[in-house]
Amino acid sequence: MLILGLETSCDETGVALYDTTRGLLAHSLFSQVDIHVEYGGVVPELASRDHVRKALPLIEEVLAAAECSPEDIDGVAYTAGPGLIGALMVGATLARALAWGWGVPSLGVHHMEGHLLAPMLEPERPEFPFVALLVSGGHTQLVRVDGIGQYRLLGESLDDAAGEAFDKAAKMLDLPYPGGPHIARLAEQGNPDRFNFPRPMVNRPGLDFSFSGLKTYTLNTVNDCREASGLTEQDKCDIARAFEEAVVGTLVIKCRRALQQEQLSTLVMAGGVSANRNLRASLGKALAKEGARVFYPAPEFCTDNGAMIAYAGAQRLLAGQVDGENTAVRARWPMTELPPLNEQQGAGA
């Protein structure tokens, strides 16, 4: 079964072709970072317009790269939510139109399920059940996963997600959007002994997160440095190091706690923040001491991409799930509302 996947939930246009027998055949991604950077964040109207401009050329590019034609495609999967409603509508409208024209089914895919299943694109895949840490731009969640569609929320951010916290901390340090890569770059040059930022909510029971207090602590530290001698480049590096280590430390503590609570030994990490090298190294080291393993996608599949949507869509299309007449995109969409697949359906493809 050959599935075309479209991702247009925010500021990246992703297209991919996934074959349930041969695997990922081709994929392409266009990032809108250069469009939004001068505004310090994503402008929804500009994002929607750029998806309109880029989607069809990317589809043609991916088809050519895979040496496929529209006649070869068996279904079209697209991101139906959560995300920016205008951007979602662009992808949904195009996907449904193509599916109708080609005489194949279409299916709206949950964006976070796409991230959660992205590690399945790798040669070595995790086996169910496992705990998933989802750390994309607007989400920080811990989820117990017993199968595709079998999700139980263990904890989530009560305010800013980790990715949002990175962006806001970067803005305090006069760094460009998106903030995560710039914070990580500066952190490599930071003095680990100068600042010790708090690990929020780690001394409380439960698996929820909160990064608003860390954001305030960071701002106060930035202001203190400015008042003392001006915010130097080394100040920025040291603050970035302390901030990154606080976020990473918090995530590691909560992940260990989640695995212990659920009595599991496999962690899946996905989403844009999962590309952070410090987070990967720290989680791998911490979990190895307890005989647990961590799986994550290749860096190119950590951020929003069409491959994860094509894969997730393929599993559900194989199980016979298709769009209904009243299927709608959703800006907000709890992943726990997704229907499960039967044990024999989709999961092994």
Do residues 72 and 2 lie in contact, with contact meaning Cβ atoms separated by under 8 Å?
A: yes
State which residues of the chain have pLDDT below 70. Answer: 342-349
d(CA 197, CA 202): 13
> What local confidence, expressed as pLDDT, does residue 345 receive?
43
Residue 21: how many other CB atoms lie within 10 Å: 7
**313 among the known binding-site residues?**
no
Q: Where are the domains of the chain?
A: 2-117+302-337, 127-296
**267 among the known binding-site residues?**
no
**208 among the known binding-site residues?**
no
**322 among the known binding-site residues?**
no
d(CA 267, CA 273): 15
**50 among the known binding-site residues?**
no
Reported residue count of the chain is 349
Nearest in space to 264 (alpha carbons), one of 141, 89, 146? 146
**51 among the known binding-site residues?**
no
> What local confidence, expressed as pLDDT, does residue 344 receive?
36
The letter for the amino acid at 18 is: Y
Nearest in space to 330 (alpha carbons), one of 62, 92, 143? 92
**134 among the known binding-site residues?**
yes
Pair type for strands 12-19 and 23-31:
antiparallel
> What local confidence, expressed as pLDDT, does residue 342 receive?
67
Find tokens 């709608």 and name the residue: 328
Q: Which CATH number fits domain 2-117+302-337: 3.40.50.2300, 3.30.420.40, 3.40.50.1260, 3.40.50.720?
A: 3.30.420.40
127-296 maps to CATH 3.30.420.40: yes
Find tokens 């207090």 and name the residue: 213
Same fold, 2-117+302-337 and 127-296: yes
**72 among the known binding-site residues?**
no
The letter for the amino acid at 261 is: Q
**135 among the known binding-site residues?**
yes
Cα 343 off chain centre by = 25
